[in-house]
Amino acid sequence: MITAVPHGEGFEVEKGIAGLETAFLASPPSRSNGPKIAFLAEYDARHACGHNIPASSAVGAALAAGKIKERLPGTLQIFGNALCERLSPDASIHGIIAHGGERTSIVPNFSQCRFSVRSPRREHRDELVEKLKKIVPAESLWPRDARFDSVISTRSTTL
């Protein structure tokens, strides 16, 4: 399992976060005030199609950062979850980074992204919105004024 690697390197690993059996959060024991630096280790639990490469890369990058973490302020985290579900051909999720900072190599104090969820069936759209909300493992990370606008589309969109 992918959590064995960070655990073996001294990271504290919490499995089953955000009500998702396949999700995990791993952090080295040293934490301090400052920015949260997160690596997304998304993997495919059912198919041998190369979707494990982003997860391996994210874990490797986080482990490398963990080697110098004690010299840096903030918290280092690895979020992992399996891509074991696919969208139906008539549904889509689109996102943009509306505000990602103002300078390179600087972690911004504020960032914002927007997502659009489309499906011709209201029940399916609502289900996808709930799944999207579960991607972030802690409600405290959502802004207080978070809104979830969604669209029912009459046309099919294939990803």
Give Cβ neighbours of residue 12 (< 8 Å, ≥ 6 apart). 26, 27, 28, 29
> Which residue has 């960070």 as its token pair?
6
What secondary structure letter does DSSP report for 154? S
Residue 9's φ and ψ, nearest 5 degrees, are: -95, 10
How many other C-beta atoms are found inside a 10 Å radius of the C-beta of residue 43?
19
Per-residue model confidence as pLDDT tens digits over 79-115: 998 876 667 788 888 888 888 888 888 878 877 777 7
Strand order from edge to edge, sheet including 112-119: 92-99, 112-119, 151-152
pTM here? 0.55
Task: Report the length, in residues, of the chain.
Answer: 159
pLDDT of residue 159: 33
- Ranges of residues in the chain whose predicted pLDDT is under 50: 140, 154-159
Q: Domain locations in the chain?
A: 1-85, 87-159
